[in-house]
Chains A and B, each alone.
Chain A
Amino acid sequence: MSSIEQAFVQSLLEDQKRVSGRRLNEARKLELAFGGSYGHVEVKMGRTRLVAQVSSQVAKPRDDRPFEGLFLITTDVSSMASPRFENGRQTVDELMVTRLIEKAIRRSNALDLESLCIVAGQSCWMVRADVHYLEYDGGFIDASCIAVIAALLHFRRPDTSIDGSRTIVHTLDERPPVPLSVLHVPICVSWSFFDNDIIVVDADEAEQDLRIGSMTITINKDRDICQFTKAGKIPLSSQQIIECCEQAHGRAREITDLIHEKLKQDFEKRNRGNMGFDLAENDR
């Protein structure tokens, strides 16, 4: 970013304004679209655009956790998103995205791993979520988290039954597929810090280049903080921190409702196509 652009963005921020015309505590509008197959979600936030795909396969559980399934999230950024990213090399910022998504969704137990067990110690489902970044305009953490959790909610895995010692995986025509057991919906909200104690929510590309530090809160509708990361830069009083959490909670409620609304619409559309096919769907 050129110095004159930096100065422009900074001077606007000091007047409580942003290049995009948003208020300092206003996040971008979220667009969410489900694809043709189960577990395919496209998320757009401003010009940031990414696709999450959830898939499953039968695998062997880990020896030390025989009653749990496996869950993997891959978030690799290629140069498709922006020429600033190098193919096949992870920078520290990309690493932080990976770690935060991991902590927000996997370590907060958003997916019930025990429900993925088929035969203890023998076989279980391996669920993986792959995030593909198509366009970069800041806010990868917030957008990826929404995409992954929406894809998990949208995904349906094949039903299984056990016949003696054999595990039978039923095709989608034989038995209606089963939704994953998602225990809660964590939503990430990121703040960016600028010089002169300016704090901004959901920064775009230019703002993210200029910022001196950041803070990410992951929270769900039930007011559980799943993850909180703030390292240095602007010191905040605990009052301010709680305020930020409340704001994040408000946004989490909005987004969770939006995801459920979109899910409902999508399954209504699907059910119209083939009557009674999706009986296994429950209204969460």
Chain B
Amino acid sequence: MPLHNSDGSAEWIAGHNGGDTRIICSVNGPIEVKTRDELPTMATLELVVRPVVGLPTIRETLLQDCTYGCLRSIVLRTQLPRSLIQIVVQVLDAGEPVEYTVYELVGAINSSVLALANAGIPLSGLVVAVCLAIVEGEIVLNPGVDQLKKSQSTHAVAYKVDNGPEEVRFRLVMCESTGLFTQNELLQVLETAEDAAREENKKMRSMIEQQVAESLAFA
């Protein structure tokens, strides 16, 4: 359900074995920026990630920083100089134990990209994130809570999707890995992640297309 008071909003729900991750994101912008945050050549991007329990800690700062890095690569900030784009990511259900951050990270990235698109902020492309884990030598896409607990390593991988020839369309923007893994395993993870990201990209694109079609006044 959209948030009425925000310029754009999105909710990202991932049901997996043993948990449901539910993340809601709102985008306000371009709006007036405080003089001390104002940038003369581009828009200021403000991102806040809020946890479901308690006040934001170092863990949320990490999520915030990774998400910020991804968004910075797609938001065309120079098109909106001297303005503010305010993004709030609210975790409503973490769906994973506190030791892990993969689902929340992936949810924060995907929901904020959708919300930015919904708010009509100029973007150079989409960023699509997926999460994986290596459990007993096997690469598992969207691991359940039990699998997370058994895993040797967890990976949140984000690809940037551009318009253009097929070979440059998917480029890696973030790979956040925790745990023990070999170089080979990481390459395999990236390969699996890219395929998954292509699927996810289709879903997100059609969602945006549908939403745009619905919002067209002359439709």
Which of chain A's residues 2-61 have a Cβ closer than 8 Å to chain B? 35-37, 40, 47, 49, 51, 53, 55
Size bin of chain A's contact surface: 20 to 34
- Docked-complex contact A37 and B53, CB < 8 angstroms: no
B104 to chain A, nearest CB (A): 14
Tell me which of B23-31, B148-156, B161-169 binds A: B23-31
The one of A55, A81, A87, A88 that contacts B5, using a Cβ cutoff of 8 Å? A81
Q: Which residues of A contact B88 (CB under 8 A)?
A: 78-80, 87
- In the bound complex, residues from chain A placing their C-beta under 8 Å from that of B50 are 76, 78, 132
- Bound CA span A135–B4, Å: 7
In the complex, the answer to whether B92 meets A82 with C-beta atoms within 8 Å is no
Q: Is B179 an interface residue (CB 8 A)?
A: no
Chain B: residues with Cβ within 8 Å of the partner, total of 21
Q: Is B44 an interface residue (CB 8 A)?
A: no
- Pick from A40, A88, A134: contact of B24, CB below 8 A: A134
Q: Is B4 within 8 A of A87, CB to CB?
A: no
Q: When chains A and B are docked, how far (Å) is the Cα of A137 from the Cα of B86?
A: 20
A50 vs chain B, min Cβ distance (A): 11
Any B CB within 8 A of the CB of A128 = yes
A36-B93, A37-B93, A80-B88 known; A53-B52 Cβ under 8 A = yes
Could you say which of B3, B5, B24, B26 has the most chain A C-beta atoms within 10 Å of its C-beta?
A: B5
The residues of A that contact B6 with a CB separation of less than 8 Å are: 80, 83
The interface residues of chain A lying within 8 Å CB-to-CB of B4 are 47, 135, 137
A88 to B48, CA, bound (A): 9
In the complex, the answer to whether A132 meets B92 with C-beta atoms within 8 Å is: yes
B60 part of interface (Cβ distance < 8 Å): no
Say yes or no: is B55 at the interface (Cβ < 8 Å to chain A): yes
In A201-233, the 8 Å CB interface with B consists of: none
**B28 and A135: CB pair below 8 A?**
no
For the complex, what is the distance from the CA of A51 to the CA of B92, rounded to whole Å?
A: 8
Asked if A74 is an interface residue, CB under 8 A from chain B, the answer is: yes
Cβ of B20 < 8 Å from any Cβ of A? yes
- On chain A, the residues within 8 Å of B55 by CB distance are 74, 76
* 0/1 string, B20-48, CB within 8 A of A gives 1: 10001010100100000000000000101
The CA-CA distance from A51 to B90 in the complex, in Å, is 11
Question: How far apart are the CA atoms of A74 and B20 in the complex, in Å?
Answer: 23
Among A40, A81, A87, which residue has its beta carbon within 8 angstroms of that of B93? A40
Q: How far apart are A53's CB and chain B's nearest CB, in angstroms? A: 5
Q: Is A142 an interface residue (CB 8 A)?
A: no
Q: Which of B5, B24, B52, B54 contacts A83 (CB 8 A)?
A: B5
Knowing A36-B20, A135-B3 touch, does A74 contact B54 (C-beta < 8 A)? Answer: yes
Contact (Cβ within 8 A) B53 A128: yes
Q: Which of A132-149 contact B (CB under 8 A)?
A: 132, 134-137
Q: Does A130 contact B (CB under 8 A)?
A: yes
Minimum distance in angstroms from B127 CB to a CB of chain A: 21
Bitwise interface map of B from 118 to 138 toward A, beta carbon under 8 Å scored 1, else 0: 000000000000000000000
Kindly report which residue of chain A lies nearest to residue B47, judged by CB atoms.
Answer: A87
A57 to chain B: closest residue by CB: B53
| Residue contacts A-B, CB under 8 angstroms, 19 given | A36-B93, A40-B92, A53-B92, A55-B53, A76-B55, A78-B50, A78-B90, A80-B3, A83-B6, A83-B28, A83-B31, A130-B54, A132-B92, A134-B26, A134-B90, A135-B3, A135-B4, A135-B5, A136-B5
In the A-B complex, the 5 residue pairs with the closest CB atoms: A80-B88, A80-B26, A82-B5, A83-B28, A55-B53
- Report A's interface with B, CB cutoff 8 A: 35-37, 40, 47, 49, 51, 53, 55, 74, 76, 78-83, 87-88, 128, 130, 132, 134-137
Spell out B's residues near A (CB within 8 Å). Answer: 3-6, 20, 24, 26, 28, 31, 46, 48, 50, 52-55, 86, 88, 90, 92-93
